[in-house]
């Protein structure tokens, strides 16, 4: 599997999980409202939260497993290796959205302001 494919897959998973995090984990209820109203409210509040705090992806580089020799490190690391203190460390590229928790709070506040509450 190429690292490009892996990064694209992780990005897709992160995007889907952020949408699930915003609206899928809570059972929102509003007296007299049905599924269509809930769908409209979650769509509206998702839009408000993303407009207020857009995605801000930050990439990080971390060191993973370490090996005594470079060949072994490169065999198991698709992102390369770096030598530190006489050992070879695999390089791990990660990324995350620094605004996801803030968006979740904005989404929740929007839902509550529109008469919804969680069970």
94 - beta bridge partners? 60
- The whole-number mean pLDDT for each consecutive block of 10 residues of the chain, a chain of 119 residues, reads 38 42 73 96 98 96 91 88 92 94 97 95
Burial track 52-76 (b if 16+ CB lie within 10 A, e otherwise): ebeeeeeeeeeeeebbeeeeebeee
pLDDT score recorded for residue 8: 40
CA–CA separation, 116 and 73 (whole Å): 53
61 - beta bridge partners? 93
Q: Which among 62, 83, 61 is positioned nearest to 72, based on CA atoms?
A: 83
pLDDT score recorded for residue 95: 95
């Amino acid at each position: 599997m190429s690292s490009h494919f892996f990064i694209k897959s992780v990005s897709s998973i992160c995007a889907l999980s952020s949408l699930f995090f915003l609206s899928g984990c809570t059972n929102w209820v509003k007296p007299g409202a049905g599924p269509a109203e809930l769908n409209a409210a979650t769509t509206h509040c998702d839009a408000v939260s993303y407009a207020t705090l857009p995605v801000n992806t930050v990439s990080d580089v971390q060191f993973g497993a370490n090996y005594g020799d470079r060949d072994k490190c490169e065999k198991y690391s698709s992102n390369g290796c770096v030598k530190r203190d006489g050992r070879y460390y695999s390089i791990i590229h990660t990324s995350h959205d620094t605004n996801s928790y803030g968006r979740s709070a904005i989404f929740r506040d929007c839902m509550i302001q529109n008469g919804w509450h969680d069970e």
